[in-house]
Every structure is written in structure tokens, then in C-alpha cells.
Amino acid sequence: MPTGPLHDRAVNSMVDGEPTQKVFPCRCMIGEDHIEGVDFFPDEEEPEGLSFAGAEEIWLSSGMDEDYDFR
């Protein structure tokens, strides 16, 4: 059975209403750290119109590269 490189596997769970996380060494084929179980921090979209305050200045100072347009 093939194995991947050593990395961490975190398992989230709720115990008595409290979020807990246990980390175990893992050699699965994912090959990088991963989290399983309850999602404590669901992805929240940033409200429209809000962005990083310095994004325009960074883009202008970086040669206006379209790959790095964070505005």
C-alpha cells in the first residue's frame, strides 16, 4: 500500500458544546496537512465593496501586473 510524506491530520469535533481539535501524524496520499470533522470557521464571503486598504498602492508599486491585481 503506497504512503505519502509525513504530515499532520487534524480532527475537529464538538465535546460538551466546546470545539476541540486533535492532531495526529499522517501518511495518506493527500501528502499535506489537512483538517477533518466539524468546520468551526465556515467560509464567510467578504462583503461587496470591501477590500484590503493598501491593495491599490501595492498594485501600482508592483508594475501593475494583472496577476497581482488585488483591488
pLDDT at 25: 93
Domain count, the chain: 1
Domain that holds residue 28: 1-39
Query: Which amino acid is it at 34?
Result: H
* Confidence grade of residue 66 (pLDDT, cut at 50, 70, 90): low
Answer whether residue 28 is part of any domain: yes
Answer whether residue 13 is part of any domain: yes
Answer whether residue 48 is part of any domain: no
Task: Give 31's contacts (C-beta < 8 A, 6+ positions apart).
Answer: 4, 5, 7
Answer whether residue 53 is part of any domain: no
Answer whether residue 11 is part of any domain: yes
Answer whether residue 59 is part of any domain: no
Task: Give 23's contacts (C-beta < 8 A, 6+ positions apart).
Answer: 8, 9, 10, 11
For 15-59, how does the pLDDT look when each residue is reduced to its tens digit (9 = 90+)? 888 889 999 999 888 888 888 887 776 665 655 555 566 666 766
Answer whether residue 67 is part of any domain: no
Task: Give 58's contacts (C-beta < 8 A, 6+ positions apart).
Answer: 52, 68, 70
